[in-house]
Amino acid sequence: MTGPQPGRRAGRPAKPLLNRELIADAALDLVTADGTDGLTMKSLAGRLGVSVSSLYNHIAGKADLLTSVQDAVMSRVDASAFDSVADGPGLAEALRTWSHSYRQVFADYPSLVPLIATMPVSGAPATRRMYDAVSAGLLAAGVPTAQVVPVIVAFESFLYGSAMDVHAPAGIFYSRPGEQDAPSFRAVVESFTAQVDAGEDAAPSSASSTPASSTPASSTPASSTPASSSSASPNPYADQPFEWGLDALVARTLTLLD
């Protein structure tokens, strides 16, 4: 007579078929394919091959689902450089790394920008950890406590717009043949695009004292994230304005240090 055999009980899966992470990842896939309008509990259940009711064992409802999506996206933003910040140069490095990562993540999910930009962070632990890392780095470098939130909001306002600009049509500022109503604007657009097309740096070199201000946006500064964070832009004119704006924000932040 043989004794009971070890192992799991029949009928129980080795691991749960669903959890919040799997649900959030599937929701991101839906958003990528169909935009935020395509994200419903019914469509999500269909993508996962489960019943709608089973989702409610893990997600309280649409609002909770969106919080999970927010966390899934924000967890991809690299804020690790803030862990070792101790001075101004370290802070500049961390701000650049974080900004390049942030822009790329939201360029991957542009339809989520209007949603996440206005979502509360309460109940989103990964999102809160990201903000905590940024806050700790800013404080460690000497940014006054009351100025940390304004710095974060200023960067995010810029980064959300920069992520959207990645997908803007290359000719968004072009004039139609025969249009003569904005001659100054037409001239500056033609000058800027010609410089970018020629591989030249059209951004003002005096935007900041940081090294990246003299680096063409078509190549990522040595102090920032890998080139894929900006060179993948489908809009060839998006990177140089991004680098210029980033230079200005970093330089302004460094003036706050005690």
Domain identity same for 131 and 117: yes
Domain identity same for 115 and 141: yes
Residue 249 gets which letter from DSSP?
A: H
Q: How many domains does the chain have?
A: 2
The residue type found at 94 is A
Domain identity same for 195 and 162: yes
pLDDT for 71-85, tens place per residue? 999 999 999 999 999
| Cβ–Cβ < 8 Å for 87, 139 | no
Domain identity same for 68 and 105: no
Cα gap 131→170, rounded to integer Å: 33
208, part of any domain? yes
Question: Residue 166: which CATH number?
Answer: 1.10.357.10
Last residue of a domain, one of 7, 40, 74: 74
Domain identity same for 115 and 236: yes
Residue 210: which pLDDT band, with cuts at 50, 70 and 90? very low
Per-residue confidence (pLDDT) for residue 209, from 0 to 100: 37
Residue 135: which pLDDT band, with cuts at 50, 70 and 90? very high
pLDDT for 86-118, tens place per residue? 999 999 999 999 999 999 999 999 999 999 999
pLDDT for 140-163, tens place per residue? 999 999 999 999 999 999 999 999
9, part of any domain? no
Contacts by residues 61-68 (CB-CB < 8 Å, ≥ 24 positions apart): 64/123, 65/23, 65/24, 65/27, 65/39, 65/41, 66/115, 66/119, 67/119, 67/123, 67/124, 68/20, 68/23, 68/24, 68/27
Domain identity same for 176 and 225: yes
Please tell me which of 179-183, 205-209, 223-227 the model is most confident about, judged by mean pLDDT. Answer: 179-183
Domain identity same for 67 and 90: no
Domain identity same for 108 and 167: yes
Give the pTM: 0.79
Domain identity same for 39 and 94: no
What domain range is 38 assigned to? 20-74
Domain identity same for 207 and 143: yes
6, part of any domain? no
